[in-house]
Amino acid sequence: MAIFGREMLGRDVLDRTGALLGRLIDLHIDLNTGSVSELLVEVAEGIEPAALPFASQGSAVMIPAASVARVAASVHLNR
């Protein structure tokens, strides 16, 4: 089953323990391969983006695609 980018936006992003990290707001695509390279995630209230192990942009963090364990109703990270 194919999943399209627009279907992904707005999904919850959960850390490896299943705790809510935030909401997916954008995907970055590698133009050479067509693969998703990074996810832009608006962090949940009460989470400090700068304290996370990802590059931050305001209240959002850039999560490498390699950090995604699986995609279901939510995006599950492996870290």
Q: Quick one: DSSP state of residue 51? A: G
pTM metric for this prediction: 0.88
The answer to whether the CB of 63 falls within 8 A of the CB of 78 is: no
Q: How far apart are CA 26 and CA 76, in angstroms?
A: 16
Q: How far apart are CA 36 and CA 59, in angstroms?
A: 21
Amino acid (1-letter code) at residue 64: P
Helix (H, G, I), strand (E, B) or coil at 60: strand
**Position 4 confidence tier, pLDDT thresholds 50, 70, 90:** low
Helix (H, G, I), strand (E, B) or coil at 44: coil
How does pLDDT run across 11-39, given as a tens digit for each residue? 999 999 999 999 999 999 999 998 999 99
- Identify the architecture of domain 5-77 in CATH: Roll (2.30)
Q: How far apart are CA 19 and CA 17, in angstroms?
A: 6
How does pLDDT run across 36-78, given as a tens digit for each residue? 999 999 999 999 999 999 999 999 999 999 999 999 999 999 9
Domain ranges of the chain: 5-77
